[in-house]
Amino acid sequence: MPKHMGIANSTALMSGSGAVGQALQLVGIILLTQVYAVESFGELTLAINTAALCAIAFGLQLHLAIPTVRDERTVNDIAHAIVCNALILGAISTAVLLLLDGILATGALIGILVCLSNSSRAMLVRLNRIHLVALANLGRAVCIVGGQAVMVNLELNGLVAGLIFGEACICLFLFLKSRQRLRLFSHVKQGLQKATIAKFSDFSFWGTIQEFVSVAVVFMPFFLCARLFSEAELGNFGMAHRLIWGPVVVVSVGFGWAFLGAVGQKPSQFFEVLKQIRYYHLLLLAIVGVSLSWIVLQPIMLFILSTEWMLAARISPIMFSAAIVFLASSPFRQMIRICKKQKWQLGIDFMTIIFIALTLLFPYRSAFDWITMIGAVLIVQNLATILCGWIAANNYREPENV
């Protein structure tokens, strides 16, 4: 295995490429609003959301196990299981959803591509080929935006068609670069698919359930806000969430992959890696940043946006505080996965849903009061994740046979 790139450099490379890719897509979407109808963007959103859920179901979170495994044969077994699942479940889901709605079926098809890309991406991270994953992040954005621009005059929805084109290109690129050698028929015939899924049940069962619950944590506040308050207040909530959480999630995903690659096969070095990236210095800096955000972020938001976004400006320090705690929890979230303690994370996320629901019982006078409570719940959720990750790392013992 090649010498490991420094985790700070890996994080910067992964997060930077993800951020540039996000910016390219954002600029592309803004420009494409001039040539595509509003309905086309609605179908694109539906396809993306369907694809995200299908990718979780098809892959069973097994790709996250790949960087934690040392044995090459076991890695190949995991990769085979992911591909088999994606093709079999994907084909069935696409056929069923096609009877309901063509866009939903398209989302399932995209979910297959995302699932396969995740598997190849995990193999490259395990091999410390971070630069290829970063290149794929940029290439994906270019292919998607380029495809959507070229396919404007198609009878089909060019936005969705361009997304399929981009995902397919990157899926093929990652597959070729990861140098996978698939023997799907023999894998299924020998029953290795079921055996692998059972062996890594912490990922395939508990991890999958936890990921679905985690998605519910993200969407539940918007679902409740839509029913409690006006469309304008919901729009303000959505705007603040997108502006604050969007960049933080991009950095967190990059950090997560880099950390998984650095610590996945040597969890005993967790605290050593934290010192290497100067985590505690960054944490102190984050605390100062959060404190300053309560002073400067609201006027900055009002300067960027108009006065009709006053609520978004007011809640932005709350969103920023919650997002920073989420970012701080990233290495501990990965450590929970590496130590196969997904049940702990599932318990935290499930309790978070309960507490979000309980906010309805507390007296609140406005959307601002309610969103403040939601922010507090999310902060507690991620503090609990940090605590559990810390405990998992402290109690970790190297297995005799890996």
State the pLDDT confidence band at 91, using cuts at 50, 70 and 90. very high
Residue 196 and residue 334 in contact, taking contact as beta carbons nearer than 8 Å:
no
| Mean pLDDT score, 156-174 | 89
- The answer to whether residues 257 and 331 touch, using CB atoms and an 8 Å cutoff, is no
Token reading at 109: 């098809």
pTM score of the predicted model: 0.78
CB-neighbour burial class of residue 364 (10 A; exposed 0-12, middle 13-18, buried 19+):
middle
Query: What mean pLDDT is reported for the chain?
Result: 82
The proportion of the chain whose per-residue pLDDT surpasses 90, expressed as a percent, equals: 19
Is 402's pLDDT higher than 50? no
**pLDDT, tens digit, for every residue of 150-161?**
887 776 788 888
* Pair of tokens at residue 179: 């140098």
Domain parsing of the chain, residue ranges: 7-199, 202-394
The tens digit of pLDDT for each residue in 210-252 reads 889 988 888 888 888 888 888 788 878 887 887 788 778 877 8
DSSP string, 12-55: HHHHHHHHHHHHHHHHHHHHHTTTS-HHHHHHHHHHHHHHHHHH
Report helix, strand or coil for 365: coil
User: What is the reported pLDDT for 355?
Assistant: 94
The segment with the largest mean pLDDT, out of 165-174, 239-248, 279-288, 326-335, is: 165-174
3-state secondary structure 114-183: HHHHHHHHHHHHHCCCHHHHHHHHHHHHHHHHHHHHHHHHCCCCHHHHHHHHHHHHHHHHHHHHHCCCCC
As a three-state string, the secondary structure of 295-309 is: HHHHHHHHHHCCHHH
Which of 172-186, 303-317, 332-346, 369-383 reaches the highest mean pLDDT? 369-383
- Whether residue 187 has pLDDT greater than 70: no
CA distance 92 to 108: 10
For the stretch 362-367, contacts whose Cβ atoms lie closer than 8 Å and that sit 24 or more positions apart, written own/partner, are 367/225, 367/228, 367/229, 367/233, 367/236, 367/237, 367/311
